[in-house]
Structure 1
Amino acid sequence: MSRKVNILILNWNGSKYLVDLIQSIKAINYNNYKITLIDNNSTDDSLLKIKNEKVNIVSHKSNYMFAKGYNKAIIDLKNDDSDFFLLLNNDTICDKNILDAFSEALDKYGDDCIMGPKILYMNDKKKIWYAGGNFGLFNFFVSHRGIRKKDEKSFNKDCLTDYITGCCLFISKKNYLKLNGFDEKFNMYGEDVDLSIRAQNLGIKCYYISNARLWHYVSASYGGNFNLVKIITKISSLFKLMIKYPKRIILGLK
């Protein structure tokens, strides 16, 4: 029997993207999954847009941002019978083989790991946004492997990676609960890096899975690539990571 996956979409005012994302999920070849929308008290017509879709909805009373938004929802889903969660940004489009690729990778690497896909820019579909993550001074402390580079053969191999981006993160329910979810001290950005480090400290490996693919409208929730709020938030999160994990983030040491 295939592993049961709950696809968790965190949403805040993502009406513009939700229908296309859900349509892409419905085209997935894998048959043992369900969709849960976690809504962070949207003020747009997000919920109206998907009222006719077969989607479970968790509605928060406030905008809990990324970490608490997921954590609180998963507590509410404590009786959920899924084996794995696929955490997914609302401004993404899934390849039809994404869950098959993760399932095949689990057969190869085992269930005790966290996985992330190859993520490409939606507006430039042959350009990499994420093909794994790196730590260290010479990687600007935290960076995406391959970012803004053309998708080529060098990105077509699975590999261990320093961290999995929260844009699309595949994790067992068991391990998410074991890690107590995301650290809510990170409001936005950095919580995925922190989760990955804590996981590796417990022997849970992080893998980039090249055959799993996703397209991303980058930074849609913050209004584009070069947004002042986004920059300030990223810098704040980076300092938190550097204080918490100086050897890992600054020096890239295990």
Structure 2
Amino acid sequence: MPKLPRIDYYFDVISPYSYIGFEILQKMEHQWKGVSIRYIPFFLGAIMKESGNRPPAMLPARSVMMMTDLQRTAKFWDIPLTPPPQFMDWIKKYRTTGAMKILLVLEEQDKELMLRAAREFWLRLWSRSEKIFEDSDFEIVLKAVGVKNVQEVIEKSKEEKYAKILTENTNKGVDLSAYGAPWINVLTADGEEHSFFGSDRFHLIADLLQQPQPLPDKLLFNQKSKL
């Protein structure tokens, strides 16, 4: 008997394209029927290192275009995104492993809570130009999404168990030939696997899964008004 199609969405909260893809996928989750979705935190820094890739922001010409492209894409999807002025300094100084392990702790408690926290991390960094790398940042995020036992979650995230899970998730991404984020692995009903890179491949995924094409609400409204 064929299995339900499944989307494995590998992401890191340092990645603005992971943020854009996350919001698109959250929207499509209500429109794509019979498709299960797993959101999988991994560490983009290790993915870059293992694949030999370089962050777009580290290449001067690409960095300028990336910021322009991000703002265009965010406007198209109506996503609140403003590149933080301190981004280059932050990515040279900090890693996101702490934030990703916070998400893994929350995932064990409640998947929806983990997703709310992931969105809050992105909003802090990519909408409000606020840090997401230290315990004080985690505390603010956890309180914002309604976590009661904030310090307990922060301390728990430092256990070896969560470092191991993050490494396993990252290694799985490496096995899938990931070289950036978001990395999307689609398992179709026939058992075949199909990998996609980036936040602009959902039209191809929709076609593969024979699901409605993704559109922002403004275009959906215009489409319906013409019917």
- TM (normalized to structure 1)? 0.24
More helix by share: 2
The TM-score with structure 2 as length reference comes to 0.26
